[in-house]
């Protein structure tokens, strides 16, 4: 929950730092991030915007970004 909370606050998550802080492997943190991504995918808001976790190469970690619904999708009026 801490990782999710910090992502929602706009913080960048670094796997190595998190794995060290929690005493787990990088793979465990990657699974946590994947689980959060699945949760976010299921939480699209009414506008269709979706929050996704991306790897930010410049920051060297993971952060949340909002993907806006394509206004030109079929069926959009």
Has residue 61 been placed in a domain?
yes
How many domains is the chain partitioned into structurally? 1
Q: Sign of torsion, CA 77 69 5 1?
A: positive
Domain span holding position 52: 2-67
Has residue 17 been placed in a domain?
yes
Residue 46 pLDDT: 59
Has residue 75 been placed in a domain?
no
Q: How many CA atoms lie within 13 A of 30 on its CB side?
A: 5
Q: What is the DSSP letter of 56?
A: E
Has residue 16 been placed in a domain?
yes
Give which of 27, 50, 25, 30 is closest to 39, Cα–Cα: 50
Task: Give the residues of the chain that fall short of pLDDT 50.
Answer: 77
Residue range 32-41, pLDDT digits in tens:
999 999 888 8
Q: Which distant-in-sequence residues (6+ apart) come within 8 Å of 22 by Cβ?
A: 28, 29
Has residue 6 been placed in a domain?
yes
Has residue 8 been placed in a domain?
yes
Residue 61 pLDDT: 96
């Amino acid at each position: 929950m801490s990782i999710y909370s910090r992502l929602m606050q706009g913080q960048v998550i670094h796997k190595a730092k998190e794995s060290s802080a929690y005493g787990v492997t990088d793979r465990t943190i990657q699974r946590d991030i994947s689980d959060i991504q699945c949760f976010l995918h299921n939480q699209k808001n009414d506008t269709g915007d979706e929050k996704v976790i991306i790897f930010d190469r410049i920051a060297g970690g993971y952060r949340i970004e909002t993907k806006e619904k394509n206004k030109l999708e079929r069926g959009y009026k």
